[in-house]
Structure 1
Amino acid sequence: MKHLFPLAFLMLFVFSGTISAQETWDLQKCINYALENNIQIQQQSINTDYYGNELKQAKKNLLPSVSGGLSNSFNFGRTLQYDNTYANYNSNQTNGNLSANVTLWNGFTLQNSIDKADLDLKASLADLQKAKDDIMLFIAASYLEILFAEELVQVAEDQMEVTKLQIERTRKLVDAGSLAKGSLLEIEAQLAGEELNLVNQQNSLQLAYLNLYQLLELPSTEQFKIAEPVLPVVKANGTLLNSMQVFRNAVNIRPEVKSAEYRLGSSKEQVAIAKGSLYPSVSFGADYYNSYNNKYEDLVGDKISFNDQLKNNERYGVGVNMRIPIFSKGQVRTQIKNAELQVLNQELELQSTKNVLRKEIEQAYTNALAALKKYMASNKAVESMQEAFRYTEEKFNVGMVNSVEYNQSKNNLAKAKSDLAQAKYDYIFRTKILDFYNGEIIEL
């Protein structure tokens, strides 16, 4: 144990030196890095690109479809000749065709498919924004966790400094015969406990940094130190945004609600698409055909040239085609009913999303209000504990209280400061959540 604390402090010194040698990142830089490198956001971005391609394809489905074919065959034995008679010879024939088709009307299925794909893309974009919002909240919480851990380290260091000063005073009193040596030993034992507490707080700080590195998808070897922001002052008469007011604003701007609304619209378009199969479809088509045979001859036995065959063999035509659905074994009706059920399900999903959002805002408001009350109570407790410790320290210095009472008073003060720090950062984070739901950017 005699070698434990020097070794621990050496490790912490090396760690602190490593951190201080790195660059400083503020909250916005952490958020920007996470938005660019977070895997979940990248996956959602790929998903958005997929729906973008689906929309492009839905629009291109309005264009005509054009196809062509080319075939070559070798014929042996009896072969149909140019004059529509058969003869025995070997020949080589090439056939070519080109056709085009465009849908004129099919129950508005094509346009409804475009509208559906557009809504699916908007829903995916809203999901992408929701993923970004979530990572921003996680980064802000982790950032504040580091600030909280640093403050606890400072409290532990301040506590040790007070104990070291008291050890010097007590040693002088013991040397002068005013106090028993046991008082000095008890305070030195208290210092050992405070050294261990400092080590624990330093470890908590290191773990808080590690949590932030992992959120950023950043290797722990690439370390940095967060910037110390100017935190808002917590005021006793501070007012919080009303939870219902925040909800009324949030329900109109939050991406998760927008996503649910877009998916509801998409499900309605799917109903229209399914109903389109009940109507006739009309299309316009055109085709062209030609062929060449290397053995074709005219009536006098002369070989027919390539150009002449192309002129003589070409065929082309245009036409309008109507397809009328008569009986499909109930498949279309089933598709319509299933699409209508999906609309009902998406309506419930939208309501559920709004309910979850309202609960989250109410919870954030309640937590912020509780944190504010705790902060005010903790602030009074710190003031009282500081005065009580000052009084106890004065009495201890003249031998009116023992070291146990002195250490108890000092520990009470340290705990009150820790509670105050926790309440402060908890309140700041909860208010930031409310501001975020209200459409404001997270800033420190």
Structure 2
Amino acid sequence: MRHLIYSLLATLLIWGGPGQTLAQRQLTMDNAVKLALDKNRDIQVASLETAKYAQKVVEARSYALPAIAGSAQYLYYFNKQVSFLPGSFVGLPENQLATFRVGGSNALVGGIAATQPLFQAGIRSGIKAAQIDEAATNEALTDVRAGVVTDVKKAYLDVLITQEQLRLQQQSIARNEQALKDSRSLLAQGRASRVDTLRAFVTVENLRPTLIQLTNRIGITKTVLKRTMGLDEQETIELQDSLRFDDALFIAPGADAFQDAVQARPEVRRLALIEQLNREQVAIQSAERQPKLSAIGLVQSQSQANNFRVDEYRWPVSSYMGLQLTVPIFTGFRTNSRIQQAQITRQQTETQVANLKEIVRAQVKIGLANVEEARLRIETQRQTIGVAELGYRITRDRWKQGIASRLDLSDAELLLTQAKSNYLQAVYDYLTATVNLDRVMGRIK
């Protein structure tokens, strides 16, 4: 009865309750990665960021194009405009001025003005800076995608190892249940003590809570996987791959793994682009010291009257075209300060690039060491499992013959379970280490 209760609890934990849909999505690791690249929200945000910076390039180029603006103005004068003339015009003394109110009560003005930059040193640097910024954002998107792929693979492996640990625990329970059955049979024959039978029963019951824990952990790891992929929490998934060791699938790095990693890592390329961007920022700030030359033009028409009969208005047109030169003379040391800030930022980025390369060097070394260590552990544990299985069979036969004690059988079963668990952990560590190494080497596209 108790075994039935444990089984029901495990089933409820797997399916998530009666409200859970039974439809399952079959997932291989490759399919999980493809879904994540399509649905992961971090990637979607990064993609929108690249689109935004593409528009910033368009904005930077627009400063080299002409700016054309139309304007219209209507004014109503409660008191008409005043003009001043020498007093002699109207018979007043020379030292007096005569005032006249001129124009109409209604004034209309309309025109089109155009400005075309001819020489502005900062425009070209601004365009180049925007293009570099866009390229750096694309590298950031590549880095986000690589991080998501790595997280999905590791989350997938977490589900696999938890499922394998659950299977291993079920095998251990099955062996101990068989030992309990044998113990009861021997007790009935008078060939085993009651204490041995009680010990076998307690051993089985002590293993069952771990079964529930592992079942619950499967649900948790699947939740993490679904969140990383961008799937809905209510959707159920079933993994198709298995946790297995295949050394042939691992591609060892070349002789110069560090240089390969530096060239392939998107975050290294992004930081190098930011270093170029900072150099352009220095050029942009330095350009503020140089004069600016623009061509300007205006076409304007205006009219005034004391009524609103617009069809009777007269619209004289005036226009001009010319050059406008602006020469900075003194800006309160603002330009010098901005140049110094840009140069300091460039120096910071250069230091960050050097530091990141050293970090990559260490990551490559650690990644290769972790892969090699896990491979050696797999080979060792593979042999250990064979020895542990043989030892368990011999001890079980000796126990049935009354030569070995129940404690010896428990120790043999525990050693077998531990050997299989260690092998399973070594395979998981190896696969995780290869995923991390691919990330370190920049192999994830």
| Superposition TM-score tier, normalisation by shorter sequence | 0.7 to 0.9
Moved more, 180-189 or 96-105: 180-189
Specify the alignment match of 1:24 in structure 2: 26
Specify the alignment match of 1:187 in structure 2: 200
Taking the TM superposition and a 5 Å limit, the aligned residue runs for 1:73-84 are 73-78=75-80
The reply on whether 1:430 has 2:428 as its aligned counterpart is no
The reply on whether 1:91 has 2:120 as its aligned counterpart is no
For the Cα contact (< 8 Å) 1:77–1:88, is it kept in 2? no
Specify the alignment match of 1:126 in structure 2: 139
Cα distance between partner residues in 2 of 1:304 and 1:49: 49
Moved more, 404-413 or 242-251: 242-251
The reply on whether 1:327 has 2:330 as its aligned counterpart is yes
Query: Once the 2 structures are TM-superposed, how far is the Cα of residue 66 of structure 1 from its aligned partner?
Result: 1.0
Specify the alignment match of 2:214 in structure 1: 201
Query: Once the 2 structures are TM-superposed, how far is the Cα of residue 90 of structure 1 from its aligned partner?
Result: 5.7
Q: 1:271 aligns with which of 279, 282, 289?
A: 282
Q: Count the aligned residue pairs.
A: 426
Cα distance between partner residues in 2 of 1:276 and 1:260: 24
Specify the alignment match of 2:63 in structure 1: 61
Specify the alignment match of 2:41 in structure 1: 39
Q: 1:75 to 1:203 in 2, by over 3 A?
A: closer
The reply on whether 1:221 has 2:241 as its aligned counterpart is no
Taking the TM superposition and a 5 Å limit, the aligned residue runs for 1:138-217 are 138-217=151-230
TM-score (norm 1): 0.88
CA RMSD of aligned residues (A): 2.8
Secondary structure of 1:228's counterpart equals coil
Cα distance between partner residues in 2 of 1:25 and 1:75: 78
Q: State the Cα deviation string for residues 94-136 of structure 1 (Å, max 9, x = none).
A: 11121101110122x1011000011111111111111111111
Cα distance between partner residues in 1 of 2:145 and 2:250: 28
- Amino acid corresponding to residue 196 of structure 1 in structure 2: P
For the Cα contact (< 8 Å) 1:37–1:217, is it kept in 2? yes
Specify the alignment match of 2:90 in structure 1: none
- Amino acid corresponding to residue 360 of structure 1 in structure 2: Q
Q: 2:269 aligns with which of 248, 258, 262?
A: 258
Shift >6 Å, 4+ stretches: none
For the Cα contact (< 8 Å) 1:64–1:103, is it kept in 2? yes
Q: 2:342 aligns with which of 339, 344, 354?
A: 339
Secondary structure of 1:357's counterpart equals helix
Cα distance between partner residues in 1 of 2:405 and 2:378: 32
For the Cα contact (< 8 Å) 2:160–2:242, is it kept in 1? no
Q: 1:247 aligns with which of 232, 250, 258?
A: 258
Which 5+ residue runs of structure 1 have no aligned equivalent? 297-302
Secondary structure of 1:291's counterpart equals strand
TM-score (norm 2): 0.87
Cα distance between partner residues in 1 of 2:304 and 2:193: 124
Specify the alignment match of 1:299 in structure 2: none
Q: 2:10 aligns with which of 7, 12, 35?
A: 12
The reply on whether 1:102 has 2:100 as its aligned counterpart is no
Which 5+ residue runs of structure 2 have no aligned equivalent? 84-98
Cα distance between partner residues in 1 of 2:330 and 2:390: 91
Secondary structure of 1:224's counterpart equals strand
Q: State the Cα deviation string for residues 394-436 of structure 1 (Å, max 9, x = none).
A: 1111011111110111011101100100001111221233234
For the Cα contact (< 8 Å) 1:76–1:89, is it kept in 2? no
Q: 1:286 to 1:240 in 2, by over 3 A?
A: closer
For the Cα contact (< 8 Å) 1:77–1:89, is it kept in 2? no
- Amino acid corresponding to residue 49 of structure 1 in structure 2: A
Q: 1:373 to 1:78 in 2, by over 3 A?
A: closer
Cα distance between partner residues in 1 of 2:384 and 2:245: 21
